[in-house]
């Protein structure tokens, strides 16, 4: 059994981590092989094992409950024709495998469900062949939230819904194809940095077909959904007529004060601005992208926004805290891929020089803020996500690091000269976890609205 009586003076050994990992793995339900489950509303029973059509389950929910939480294989759920008065929840599946939920792809009217919700899945999820007749608890027909890769196709919903939107997509990468959405206030709404591809979908009687907000991107291709107004965007949303690209391999881009933004961004022909390099990155990042920044002063607010995928964006200046790589500010917004910002000195006084908003995994490393501001924090994290601040420096700000929202900050080993702040750490709603030296202030830390510092 792994050690549990740790003290602050104990040393963690490799064998301790191995024992802990073995215990965690033993308690997590992993797939062991490809599997297929069958569901039949007429002949099935939820006491069956569901492993054959003759021993089908009665409800889709019962089949989903049999799927291991970690999927490293192919799992199929085959649903026979029928009426399934269920709200379908696919929640928290991870792994390298695929989960397929299949109704009648040819005639979706033959298989009806009340609603569909897909939440916090990092594995691939594919749902097809259903008519959706009701609403979930959020008054939507379909919602996809915080998922890496979801395909929805051959779906149909025509029930009148003029007080809300039919399909809501948040913090996710989603493809919707060969589906019909009719008689809605908004057919598809993407927000909070979602990236959505819509292929050959149809519909009539909608007020709006495609609505993008909060940094989300919708790319309709082929046949369009019919509506009084085709597009509506706000808060940085984009509806694009072309399919956004994806990385095909490792990318290296170079930036120098002596460069030119018409260059191709190689080491011999660098770009002049960091933002120009960011703008060269495809929105789907499934590989490592490194932006190599030469010493200099970059008077720009760099926005890293809306990137999805399983890769990493490295915004790389130097390996140590330095004043030689100055930028006004770096803002990481609505990104589900990992973003690492290293070695910059942030100079903005009218805003936080380093910020993260609704991003899954952001790291600020060996960055510094020394320009004084009595109104703005040095590092600002809002809404959801996980942010690591490690080996950084902040001086003379109203707040060293400010957390506002249901996010988490790992606050690790700040530079010992992080002094002169009014308050070192502030946590509202979310959680800051400390390790080692922390930014100092007249008040070391404060919490509010249920926030925690530990």
Domain boundaries, the chain: 30-239, 251-453
pLDDT-based confidence at 306, cuts 50/70/90?
confident
Q: What does the DSSP 8-state code read for residue 55?
A: G
Distance CA 373, CA 399 (A): 9
* 27-36, 299-308, 341-350: least confident range: 27-36
Mean pLDDT of the 37-41 span: 96
Mean pLDDT of the 41-65 span: 95
Could you count the other beta carbons within 10 Å of the beta carbon of residue 416? Answer: 10
Mean pLDDT of the 192-197 span: 86
Distance CA 249, CA 264 (A): 17
CA neighbours closer than 13 Å in the CB half-sphere of residue 16 = 8
- Provide the pLDDT for residue 69: 87
Residue 243 has pLDDT above 50, yes or no: no
C-alpha distances out from residue 381 to 24, 113, 405, 410, Å: 30, 39, 8, 11
Could you count the other beta carbons within 10 Å of the beta carbon of residue 337? Answer: 26
Tell me whether residue 156 is exposed, middle or buried, using C-beta atoms within 10 angstroms of its C-beta: 0 to 12, 13 to 18, 19 or more. buried
Residue 11 has pLDDT above 80, yes or no: no
C-alpha distances out from residue 378 to 203, 329, 418, 433, Å: 48, 10, 11, 17
pLDDT-based confidence at 5, cuts 50/70/90?
low
pLDDT-based confidence at 24, cuts 50/70/90?
very low
- Provide the pLDDT for residue 108: 94
- Provide the pLDDT for residue 62: 96
Distance CA 306, CA 240 (A): 14
* 6-20, 175-189, 402-416: least confident range: 6-20
Mean pLDDT of the 210-219 span: 86
Distance CA 270, CA 423 (A): 40
* 174-178, 216-220, 337-341: least confident range: 216-220
C-alpha distances out from residue 197 to 151, 216, 219, 319, 350, Å: 9, 11, 5, 38, 37
SS3 50: coil
Mean per-residue pLDDT of the chain: 89
Of 235, 245, 163, nearest to 192 by C-alpha is 235
Residue 147 has pLDDT above 50, yes or no: yes
Q: Which helix (H) or strand (E) holds 251?
A: strand 251-255
- Provide the pLDDT for residue 19: 61
Mean pLDDT of the 188-215 span: 89
- Provide the pLDDT for residue 242: 44
User: Percent of the chain having pLDDT more than 70?
Assistant: 91
pLDDT-based confidence at 343, cuts 50/70/90?
very high
pLDDT-based confidence at 234, cuts 50/70/90?
confident
- Provide the pLDDT for residue 2: 52
């Amino acid at each position: 059994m792994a050690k549990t009586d740790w003290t602050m003076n104990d040393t963690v050994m490799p064998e301790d981590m191995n024992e802990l990992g073995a215990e965690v793995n033993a308690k997590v339900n992993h797939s062991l092989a490809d599997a297929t489950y069958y569901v039949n509303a007429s002949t099935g029973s939820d006491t069956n094992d569901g492993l054959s059509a003759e021993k089908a389950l009665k409800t889709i929910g019962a089949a989903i409950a049999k799927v291991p939480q970690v999927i490293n294989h192919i799992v199929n759920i085959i649903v026979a024709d029928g009426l399934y008065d269920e709200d379908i929840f696919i929640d928290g599946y991870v792994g390298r495998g695929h989960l397929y939920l299949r109704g009648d792809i040819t005639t979706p009217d033959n298989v009806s469900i009340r609603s569909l919700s897909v939440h916090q899945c990092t594995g691939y999820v594919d749902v097809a062949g259903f008519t959706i007749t009701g609403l979930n608890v959020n008054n939507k027909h379909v919602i996809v939230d915080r998922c890496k890769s979801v395909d929805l196709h051959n779906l149909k919903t025509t029930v009148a819904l003029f007080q809300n939107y039919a399909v809501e997509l948040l913090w996710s990468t989603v493809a919707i194809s060969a589906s019909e959405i009719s008689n809605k206030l908004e057919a598809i709404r993407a927000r909070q940095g979602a990236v959505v591809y819509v292929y050959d979908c149809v519909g009539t009687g909608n007020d709006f077909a495609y609505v993008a907000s909060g940094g989300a991107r919708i790319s309709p291709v082929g046949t369009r959904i019919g509506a009084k107004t085709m597009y509506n965007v706000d808060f940085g949303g984009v509806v694009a007529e072309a399919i956004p690209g994806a990385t095909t391999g490792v990318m290296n881009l170079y930036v120098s004060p002596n460069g030119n933004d018409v260059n191709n961004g190689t080491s011999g022909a660098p770009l002049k601005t960091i933002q120009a390099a960011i703008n060269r990155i495809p929105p789907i990042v499934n590989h490592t992208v490194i932006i190599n920044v030469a010493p200099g002063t970059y008077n720009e607010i760099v926005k890293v926004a809306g990137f999805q995928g399983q890769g990493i964006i490295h915004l790389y200046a130097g390996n140590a805290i330095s004043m030689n790589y100055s930028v006004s500010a770096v803002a990481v917004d609505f990104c589900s891929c990992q973003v690492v910002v290293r070695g910059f000195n942030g100079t903005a006084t009218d805003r936080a020089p380093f910020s993260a908003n609704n991003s899954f995994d952001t790291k600020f490393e060996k960055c510094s803020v020394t320009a004084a501001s009595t109104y703005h924090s040095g590092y600002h994290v809002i809404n959801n996500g996980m942010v690591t601040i490690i080996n950084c420096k902040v001086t003379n700000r109203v707040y060293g690091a400010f957390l506002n929202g249901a996010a988490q900050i790992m606050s690790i080993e700040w530079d010992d000269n992080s002094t002169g702040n009014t308050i070192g750490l502030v946590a509202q709603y979310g959680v800051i976890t400390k390790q080692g030296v922390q930014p100092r202030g007249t008040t070391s830390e404060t919490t509010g609205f249920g926030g925690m510092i530990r």
